[in-house]
Amino acid sequence: MSATIAVLSQKGGTGKTTMVRSLADVFERLGVDVLAVDADPQGNLSDYFDTDPNAQPTLGDVLMGQARAADAVHGRVIPANLQLAEAELSLSGKIGREVTLRQALMDLKRDRELILIDCPPTLGLLTVNALVASTHAILSTEAQYFSLQGMEQAVATA
């Protein structure tokens, strides 16, 4: 059985991407077959994995139905770039927009023991897609007032 974990918080800069990168490494050292998914148009996780900035296809192509998720795996990550913001916009008018990532990852889930999804610092459609595709969620926060507000908003969404 595989698990899919979304790492999220409404507040920016709370360590989401760093946590996904670190967990991917830790689980890999434990012998777990891990795939990371960059669901943030900032593309920070893709950078962390040293992905070629011109790598194609990316998660944006997958969400727009132009590529299979399996073809968008580069090393140990499905990368993202600014094009993911366009993909989010184009998804917004579609029926089934919340389940697009879940359906796209379905085949990969059979092969991978663990999928980690790095969310953007918003509770928009990309984060909702990540939550719907996941079996678990990790909320990252800092011990600061506004960060804790972000956590409450994320709990309400999850």
Q: Mutual orientation of helices 100-111 and 125-133 as an angle, nearest 10°?
A: 40
The answer to whether 124 and 153 are in contact (CB under 8 A) is no
Give 57 or 121: the residue with its C-beta nearer to ligand ATP: 121
Residues 109-128 touching ligand ATP, rule: CB under 6 A, are 121
Taking contact as CB under 5 A, which single stretch among the options 12-20, 62-70, 83-91, 101-109 is the one that binds Mg ion? 12-20
Peptide bond into 57 cis (omega under 30): yes
Q: Which of 12, 136, 146, 148 binds ligand ATP (CB under 6 A)?
A: 12
Give 8 or 34: the residue with its C-beta nearer to ligand ATP: 8
The answer to whether 55 and 74 are in contact (CB under 8 A) is yes
Rounded to whole angstroms, how far apart are CA atoms 10 and 153? 7
Neighbours of 108 (CB within 10 A): 19
When asked if residue 140 is in the footprint of Mg ion (CB under 5 A), the reply is no
- Min dist CB 131 to ligand ATP, Å, is 16
Number of residues that bind ligand ATP (CB under 6 A): 11
Question: Where on the chain is the footprint of Mg ion (CB under 5 A)?
Answer: 16-17, 44
